[in-house]
A = this chain, B = another copy of it.
């Protein structure tokens, strides 16, 4: 007696009910459902009418036992980054036009949760997975990719053979930022990156760190300890930023691996009397909506999130359709110029007294 909603627990119609109602076989209904070859127009009409009348909807579970579930899973590292909605909307849109539904899992930055969600999505018989900035290493991904078509985003593993990847050209994007800061007269340029569990080479932030170091080298202004890795956790991150701002060798320019960090940095700086851009220039990454806010007005690298999402979705669709050779796409980023990285007023060195 439990588990029955109180009113009208009328059982869901099945394919059998539809067949009976339409006066045809279940096989016929199934064919109509999948718009398979070999059904007359008359039969199709009858079946469609019955489906409509009964309010029939196929059970994804039963369906998945033999064929496709027409559902794909998207694994998001976390949910707070304002860049993600753009990518997600694009994925939903692209997959939707092919008749695929999108269900999402949130990893909350925890590797264990991430893996368990992927397994869960596989258990659900999903037809494919898009993983956004997964924390796990390539070996683990390859293992999952043997069980289900996978496309990863924001994760550099271009030699992967059993899954696809779509990425911003993080190397070039970082160079755009550093070049802009250098051109604005800055020489004391540092970077704010994020802490990772291990020093995982595939992380976008790590790639950006390397490109950053390389750029400074190129300008002959490289040195030690110019990358500040800060924790993702709100509270600790703020503390780290404040410490850096109050420190003795505050740089005149900062490149942030993500707008999420850059926007926060600007707020903290100003709250401590450090003007942006006058006292300190800032450039972010993602060109997410907050960057465009008047008081923020953050210069940022635009990854073109919608494009990334669309390409990833298309790749997954084609992989589900049978493609087996890996495909690794790089999207060119652009510099979205605003006021946060304006020229410094005085280029003469400020000698410490």
Contact B322 A295 (CB under 8 A): no
In chain A between 72 and 116, which residues have their CB closer than 8 angstroms to a CB of chain B? 73, 78-80, 82, 84-85, 88-89, 92, 101-106, 108, 113, 116
Contact B124 A61 (CB under 8 A): yes
A85 in contact with B79 given A104-B105, A123-B57 (CB within 8 Å):
yes
Residues of B within 8 A of A146 (CB): 5, 7-10
Q: How far is the CA of A162 from the CA of B8 in the complex (A)?
A: 11
Number of A positions contacting B (CB below 8 A): 74
A120 in contact with B71 given A88-B106, A92-B106, A92-B108 (CB within 8 Å):
yes
A1 within 8 A of B: yes
Contact B85 A322 (CB under 8 A): no
Q: How far is the CA of A2 from the CA of B69 in the complex (A)?
A: 16
Contact B116 A101 (CB under 8 A): yes
Contact A2 B321 (CB under 8 A): yes
Interface 9-residue window, one of A20-28, A37-45, A249-257, A262-270: A262-270
**Interchain nearest-CB distance for A297 vs B (Å):** 8
Contact B104 A59 (CB under 8 A): no
Residues of A within 8 A of B (CB): 1-10, 12, 57-65, 69, 71, 73, 78-80, 82, 84-85, 88-89, 92, 101-106, 108, 113, 116-117, 119-125, 145-149, 161-162, 234, 264, 267-268, 270-272, 289, 293-296, 320-325
